[in-house]
Amino acid sequence: MNDADVGKAITRAHHEEWARLVAFLTRRLGDLDIAEEAAAEAFAAAVQRWPVDGVPPNPGAWLTTTANRKAIDRIRRETRREDKHKEAQLLYDDDPPEPAGVIGDERLRLIFTCCHPALAMETRVALTLRMVAGLTVPEIARAFLVRESTMGRRITRAKDKIKAARIPYRVPPAEDLPNRVSGVLAVLFLVFNEGYLASGPDSDPVRHDLTAEAIRLTRLIRDLMPEDGEVAGLLALMLLIEARRTARVSGGGELVPLDEQDRGAWDAALIAEGHRLVRERLAAGQAPGRYQILAAINAVHTSARDVRDTDWSQVVALYDQLVRLDPSPIVALNRAIAVAELDGPEAALAAVDRLEGKLAGYHAYHATRADLLRRLGRSHTSRAAYDRAIELAGNTAEVAYLTRRRDQLGR
C-alpha cells in the first residue's frame, strides 16, 4: 500500500469513525472535552503509525483502542482525586463490541447535546461541525469568517457550559423529541445554507464540504428517525438543491439563476432520490411542515425539463401553504417571485414593494425588485435596485451575476 492509499484510508476512517469515536468516549468518560482530545490524538497517531505499520485490518477498533489509551493517559496525568474512580472504571471495562443500532444512537446523542437549546445557535453550529462532523477549528473558523482564536474560544466556552451546567448527554425523551429534532434540523440547514451560499469576498461561492457534511448528518438523523416527516423533508430539500450545485455557478464564477441553468448538468441520481422522498411524504398523508413544503417546491422545479414547463400554479399554491405556516417576509418574497411567472411582473412588484419595511436591508429583496423592474422596462429604477443589491450581497458569484445584469440594462 503506498502513501496515497494510506492517506485515503485515514481520510475514510476520519469520515466514518470520528463521530462514533467522540460519542463513544463521551459516554464512557462523561466529558466531551477529553473525548474530543483523545479522538484527535488517536487520529494523529494513525497519521504517524499507519504509513509505517500498515493500515490495521479494523481501523475503527484500532482508533477506539488508541483513543481510549490516550484518554486514560490524560486522566492519569491529571490524577485528581475525583478521577480515580473514573480511571478504575476505565481499566476494568472490557469494551464489549456494540451492535450497530446502539452505535447509531450513540452519535445521535452527540448531535442532540451539540444542538442543545441552551446554547446559542452559532455555538450549536460550530460545536456540531467540530464534534460530529470532525471539522477542525481552523476549518470552521474559515467557513464562518471569524478568527481561529474566536472560534476556538466559542467552542471551548460551549464545552465548559455543557460541563458546568450539566447539559445531559442523551437523546431527549419522546415528549420533547419533536421540539428538539426541529432544533437539530435548523442547525443542519444553517450548515447547508452556509455551504450553498457561502458569504465573504474571499470564500468560494459554494462550499461543497459544508453542503456534503450537512447532507451526511441529515441522512444519519433520517436513519434513526425514518418516520419523521420533517427529517425526510429536509433531506429531500438538501438533495434537490445539491443536485443543481454544479449548474448554479458558471465557469467564470458567476451565479446562474434557475431559469438559465443547464438542466442536463443537474445530478439525476440526487434528483431521483429527492423526488422519491417527496412522494413518500405525500403518500404519508400528514400535514407537511416547512421543510417538506420547501422540498415539494424544489421537486416541482426539478421536474421541469425546460424552465417553460414549470408548473408555476403548483409552485404558488405550495408557497401559499408555506405562508400559512411561516408568515415571514422572506417566504412572501419568494412567493412573489413565483407570482411573477404566473400573473406577471406587475402583480409581483406590488407584492414585493409591500415588503420594503421589513426587507430593506436584505440583498435578495433588492435583487428581486431589480429583476421585476427590468422586465417592466423601468431601467432607471431597476439600476438603482441592482446597485443596492450588489452593495448588500455577500456571495461572490451573486455579486458577479448582479453586476452583469445591471450593466446589461439599456438606458
- Identity of the residue, 81 or 166, whose beta carbon is nearer to other proteins in the bound complex: 166
Report, in Å, the least distance between residue 172 CB and other proteins: 7
Residue position matching grid coordinates 458558471? 250
Taking the complex as a whole, how short is the minimal distance between the CB of residue 323 and other proteins, in angstroms?
A: 30
Site string for other proteins, 110-149 (x = CB under 8 A): ------xxx-------------------------------
User: With respect to other proteins, which residue has the nearer C-beta, 166 or 380?
Assistant: 166
Cβ 114 to other proteins shortest distance, Å: 14
The nearest distance, CB 168 to other proteins, in angstroms, is 4
Closer to other proteins by Cβ: residue 32 or 402 = 32
Q: Based on the shown chain and the rule CB under 8 A, indicate whether residue 164 belongs to the binding site for other proteins.
A: yes
Contact call for residue 30 and other proteins (CB under 8 A): no
Q: Give the binding range for other proteins (CB under 8 A) out of 44-52, 137-145, 160-168, 389-397.
A: 160-168
Residue 410 DSSP SS3: coil
Phi, psi at 378, each rounded to 5°: -95, 70
Smallest separation (angstroms) from other proteins to the CB of 308: 52
Distances (CA, A) of 353 to 264, 317, 329, 332, 357: 35, 21, 11, 11, 9
Task: Provide, rounded to whole angstroms, the least separation between the CB of residue 79 and other proteins.
Answer: 21
When binding is defined by CB under 8 A, the residue of 77, 80, 166, 411 that contacts other proteins is 166
Please give the grid coordinates belonging to residue 296: 415539494
Using the minimum distance from each CB to other proteins, give the nearer residue, 169 or 386.
Answer: 169
Three-class HEC string of 102-153: HHHHHHHHHHHHHCCCCCCHHHHHHHHHHHHCCCCHHHHHHHCCCCHHHHHH
Select from 245, 243, 221, 244 the least CA-distant residue to 233: 221
What are the backbone dihedrals phi and psi of residue 395, each rounded to the nearest 5 degrees, phi first?
-90, 130
Q: Cell digits for 295? A: 422540498
Under rule CB under 8 A, residue 172 binds other proteins:
yes
Under rule CB under 8 A, residue 168 binds other proteins: yes
Distance from C-alpha of 19 to C-alpha of 130, rounded to nearest angstrom:
9
Q: How many residues bind other proteins (CB under 8 A)?
A: 10
Compute CA distances 143 → 208, 329, 393, whole Å.
11, 27, 17
Between residue 320 and residue 379, which ones bind other proteins under the rule CB under 8 A?
none
Measured CA to CA, the distance from residue 170 to residue 383 in angstroms comes to: 54
Q: Which amino acid is at 222?
A: R
User: CB-based burial of residue 379 (10 Å sphere; 0-12 exposed, 13-18 middle, 19+ buried)?
Assistant: middle
Q: Which residue number, 108 or 277, has a Cβ lying nearer to other proteins?
A: 108
| Residue 183 in contact with other proteins, rule: CB under 8 A | no
Among 200, 381, 340, 332, CA closest to 257:
340
Nearer to other proteins, 119 or 348 (CB): 119
Minimum distance from residue 174 beta carbon to other proteins (Å) = 14
Report the candidate in 156, 111, 108, 109 with the shortest Cα–Cα distance to residue 131. Answer: 111
Give the shortest CB-304-to-other proteins separation in angstroms: 46
CB of 122 to other proteins, least distance (A): 19
Query: Are the C-beta atoms of 192 and 125 separated by less than 8 Å?
Result: no
x/- letters, 58..97, toward other proteins (CB under 8 A)? ----------------------------------------
At 3, the amino acid letter reads: D
Binding residue for other proteins (CB under 8 A) from 167, 187, 318, 338? Answer: 167
> CB-based contacts of 260: which residues, under 8 Å, 6+ apart?
none
From the list 47, 61, 121, 165, which residue makes contact with other proteins (rule: CB under 8 A)? 165
Mark the segment that binds other proteins (CB under 8 A) among 168-176, 228-236, 263-271, 357-365.
Answer: 168-176
CB of 166 to other proteins, least distance (A): 5
Stretch that binds other proteins, among 16-24, 51-59, 159-167, 182-190 (CB under 8 A): 159-167
Nearer to other proteins among residue 187 and residue 316 (C-beta): 187
Outline where 197-287 has alpha helix (H): 208-224, 229-242, 245-248, 268-284
Among 40, 174, 36, 170, smallest CA distance to 115 is for: 170
Which parts of this chain interact with other proteins (CB under 8 A)? 116-118, 164-168, 172, 176
